[in-house]
């Protein structure tokens, strides 16, 4: 196996075989993100990808149950190449449970319904989509390169073609000025898509991220931990996405929550309001990305 640079994957892919299909992220301009700043984006050579898969097969045999296609947005690769990769995966690992990857809304919208259908039938089961926010003002400010409507259209397009979606949002990304809009617009975005999964991270500062300068110069004011709790309450009070599996238990989160929408909204709200009363939150030294 050959990996270039630091390799990132969703928390739920911790037991997956990770294969780099691309190096870096094709957008790589979000002001809050530093994950791929030291990489020049490119698609890897198909022979190198096949070699990595063969090496993994020689080590693990048919024990591999999940494969995650990295880096930042493997879905941007041409459909023909992805189909070749998926076919080779199926040949080597016939007992595989699923293949997943990151994908930007732009990646998804560029694929035709026919292409997405072919990818699903070839074994691509789920796409992780970093929406980050449902608020257009916040999306523009962090240079996400996508609109709220495009995120919604991309999420619906995945569902229409049988591909599950796991959507990530970031608590605190709107700052104090957009806290309410970020919470409520993110809730209505999820309500319109009704994804299989939604997960929250909480904004953390890295000095090399462009957003860090905005905060240090006062252009953006971070939420306090209790304001993050209030923001999550607003989200849960406005979301309506029956059956979506909800997670806010990343290491960056001040409060660990998990449940299924909509049935577990009342106990999660009760938990958050209890925290407001007690003021007991995860302390900063225990938070990490």
Number of neighbours of residue 106 by Cβ within 10 angstroms: 16
Tell me the sheet residues that pair with 43.
22
Task: Flag whether pLDDT at 223 surpasses 70.
Answer: yes
pLDDT of residue 80: 98
Tens digit of each residue's pLDDT (9 = 90 or more) over 112-165: 999 999 999 999 999 999 999 999 999 999 999 999 999 999 999 999 999 999
pLDDT of residue 206: 85
Higher pLDDT: 73 or 17? It is 17
Place of tokens 């035709």: 112
Mean pLDDT value of segment 74-81: 96
Q: Kindly report the pTM of this predicted structure.
A: 0.94
Percent of all residues in the chain with a pLDDT value above 90, rounded to a whole number: 87
Are 142 and 178 in contact by the 8 Å Cβ rule? The answer is: no
DSSP string, 162-223: T-EEEEEEEETTTTTTTHHHHHHHHHHHHHHH--SEEEEEE----TTSHHHHHHHTTSS-PP
Pairing of strands 22-23, 42-43: antiparallel
Quote the DSSP letter at residue 26. S
Sequence spans of domains, the chain: 11-282
Round to whole Å and give the CA distance between 279 and 211.
Answer: 28
- Cα angle: 105, vertex 106, 108; to 5 degrees: 65
To which H or E segment does residue 257 belong?
strand 257-260
Maximum Cα–Cα distance for the chain, whole Å? 58
Q: Does domain 11-282 fall into CATH 3.20.20.70?
A: yes
């Amino acid at each position: 196996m050959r990996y270039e640079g630091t390799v990132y994957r969703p928390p739920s892919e911790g037991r997956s075989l990770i294969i780099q299909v691309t190096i870096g992220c094709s957008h790589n301009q979000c002001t809050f993100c530093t994950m791929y700043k030291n990489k020049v984006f490119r698609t890897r050579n198909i022979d190198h990808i096949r070699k990595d898969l063969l090496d993994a097969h020689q080590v693990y045999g048919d024990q591999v149950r999940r494969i995650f296609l990295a880096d930042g947005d493997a879905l941007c690769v041409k459909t023909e190449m992805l189909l070749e990769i998926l076919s080779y995966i199926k040949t080597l690992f016939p007992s595989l449970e699923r293949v997943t990857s990151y994908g930007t809304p732009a990646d998804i919208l560029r694929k035709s319904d026919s292409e997405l259908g072919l990818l699903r039938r070839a074994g691509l089961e789920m796409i992780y989509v970093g929406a980050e926010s449902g608020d257009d003002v916040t999306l523009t400010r962090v240079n996400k390169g996508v609109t709220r409507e495009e995120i919604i259209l991309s999420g619906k397009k995945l569902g229409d073609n049988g591909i599950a979606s796991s959507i990530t949002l970031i608590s605190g990304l709107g700052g104090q000025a957009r806290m309410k809009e970020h919470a409520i617009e993110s809730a209505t975005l999820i309500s319109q898509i009704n994804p299989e999964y939604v997960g929250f991270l909480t904004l953390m500062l890295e000095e090399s991220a462009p957003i860090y300068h905005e905060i240090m110069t006062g252009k953006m004011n971070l939420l306090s931990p209790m304001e993050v709790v209030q923001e999550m309450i607003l989200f849960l009070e406005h979301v309506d996405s029956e059956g979506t599996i909800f997670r806010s238990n990343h290491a960056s989160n001040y409060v660990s929550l998990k449940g299924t929408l909509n049935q577990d909204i009342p106990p999660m709200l009760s938990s958050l309001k209890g925290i407001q009363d007690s003021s007991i939150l995860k302390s900063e030294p225990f938070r990490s990305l």
